[in-house]
Amino acid sequence: MRIYEENQKLCAAYGNALLVVEAWGENSLRIRMTKEAEMDANDWALMDAPAPTNPQIRFEEIDLTEPWWYGEDRQKHAQSGTNAYLTNGKITAKLAFDGRLSFYNQDGKLLLEEYWRNRDRIDRYCVPLRVEGRELKPIVGTTDYRLVARFEAQEDERIYGMGQYQEHNLNKKGAIVELCHRNSQASVPFYLSTRGYGFLWNNPAVGTATFGTNKTEWVAESTKKLDYYITAGDTPAEIEAQYSLATGRTPMMPEYGLGFWQCKLRYRNQEELLNVVREHKRRGLPMDVIVIDFFHWTRQGDFRFEPRDWPDPAAMVKELKELGVELAVSVWPTIDEKSINFGEMADRGYLVRTDRASGFHMNWMGDTVFFDATHPGARKFVWERCKENYYDYGIRLFWLDEAEPEYGPYDFDVFRYHAGPALQCTNIYPKMYAKGFYDGLKSVGEGDVMSLVRCAWAGSQRYGVLTWSGDIHSSYRSMREQLQAGLSMGIAGIPWWTSDIGGFLGGDIKNPDFCELLVRWFAWGAFCPVFRLHGERSPFYEREQEFIDGVRQLTSGQDNEVWSFGNENYEILKEFLFIRERLRPYIRECMKDAHENGSPVMRPLFYDFPQDTACYDVEDAYMFGPDLLVAPVFEANAVTREVYLPAGAFWVEAKTGKRYEGGQTVTATASLNTIPVFTRNGKEFDIYQK
């Protein structure tokens, strides 16, 4: 192995492999490895111009003449070796003479080290298993590789982040995580370790991450290179700030994003939607956004209103703006074979291709193909159609649905993009989908851009992505799972996040049990980054099937307005609408912090109180910004719930005004009209008006 310095990078060449370690922003490193003639040039999640630093590289000669277990012959071939070190601020990479990488903080504490089990190691790992820390194995008959990267497991380590998964545990230690997107699953492969570092798997390939007790293992099923980023810091906030600079900060949230969003499946025509907004305003209720959901078009891929049901979009938008309400419109990436745009998009190569099997990707409400969001021309084409048919009417907020994309089935080895085989790059799709609209809106002079997107990948945040958690079930279990999903997304660098209040699937507005769940979820929603009511609300209205030009029209679910769930519940929901309004100045400051410093808006307790070890065990409460501790209620018929209050502060219960010292568990008031909220160090909030 030849270890050398080149352009302030630490390099190792061995066989046909090249390993490169380089500084990548403050206290951070990027590690790449290839077996190709040239390193793949994709930066993927990372910004292509990191802030310059002054890394220090040194070499250390070491003596290898100590006797060891398989005889004197070895000593004839290796009498000395060279270890190399690259230090960038608070992080140091050690590249041992035998090729093994390890990482340390400024105090010399080991953060992370590769997992090797070869007999050629001159250390405690000298065993004949022939397991390597990093493997790029050619896929026979192709020019691609299967990648495995292995790291030593540390018993004292907890792992947080990795994006959105429908599961219970916030701490991912012991978990196997699928590195691909599905409806309600968003793979954002960055984690925060309690050992004082953050790690980004900078690879959009389909694979897995296993955080075992014996080792950590990352797998990419098809790729061209190994690529990851590691950053060190003294606090979670410092690590998140550095990571968010490397992948891009979120814009400042537009003012309309701070308030209440009204949505349902689905408003079927212009007058129905306008009547809902008029009634909201007649009742004196706040509303910032109303959403027109899917199938307001004639065919998927038309990217325009069906004129029968939406006869005058310009007049509709004008009235909404006069009422102070922003309109969001759903856009799907599916192109029906009978769409007015299908032929042109197919001819120009703007559609996702299939290597085999049927050329159609979904057959729900039409035979459709996804447009190729990795193709710059396809992104521009879709934006231009949406500009003509939506933006030019005054619509600047888009709901980018089906953004995984939701293949049926998820056979990633079948599909191929402009950027390469889906196995290698499909996880980049939602980011590029959002980029098309971000670039388009910027090109026409929009300032702070925001898009509601049903998926995200690392770096999506820089394109103004608000992710929501997909088509989740209406149950307390699902509500509880959304809390860890939102917290994990925040740690993974996606600060704008929300869920469908009440869940999407299975909620019957005539069922008292569901109405109680919805009230609990609504109360929690008032303390989420975005406050949005949505759901299909079973059962669907019974209507005869309708057709326009031979195309079946989708019906809609039951009512989903705040007055739809009974008078007593309405009064509670109404109060939380105004609680959100009273919190607006505080939320605006939280969004500014996310924009300027990369801070998650909702985050686990340990983020603000890393010295309180008990906070790492709390997975059912969180900090909403730096000064509010929120403890949602996840069970029916509750009147109280236990809440741990972090040490290092005193806490005031918003409902009762009681003061508590931190470092203890208390019993909080949790009647149906109350979500337990505690203010830090007595900061004044007018949450529950006395």
Q: Which positions are catalytic?
A: 401, 404, 471
The two tokens of residue 651 are: 């806490």
- DSSP run (H or E) holding 164: strand 159-164
d(CA 415, CA 417): 7
DSSP alpha helix (H) spans, 530-661: 567-582, 584-597, 605-608
User: Which of 144, 157, 149 lies closest to 200, judged by CA?
Assistant: 149
* Beta-sheet strand order (sheet of 420-421): 353-354, 415-417, 420-421
DSSP 665-685: EEEEE--TT---EEEETT---
> Positive or negative, the Cα torsion across 241, 250, 294, 500?
positive
Name every residue whose Cβ is closer than 8 Å to that of residue 418 and which is 6 or more positions away in sequence. 349, 372, 374, 375, 378
CB count in 10 Å sphere of residue 28? 29
Residue 614 corresponds to which tokens in the numbers above?
Answer: 């008990």
Q: How far apart are CA 572 and CA 516, in angstroms?
A: 11
Residues 473, 505 contacting (CB under 8 angstroms): yes
Rg (Cα) of the chain, in Å, rounded? 27
Query: What CA–CA distance (Å, rounded) separates 77 from 120?
Result: 12
The helix/strand/coil state of 501 is strand
Spell out the alpha helix ranges (H) of 207-312.
236-247, 270-282
Helical (H) or strand (E) element with 369: strand 368-370
Q: Do 468 and 500 contact (CB within 8 A), yes or no?
A: yes
Cβ atoms of 418 and 42 within 8 Å: the answer is no
CA distance 500 to 525: 9
- Per DSSP bridges, beta strands 397-400 and 326-331 are parallel
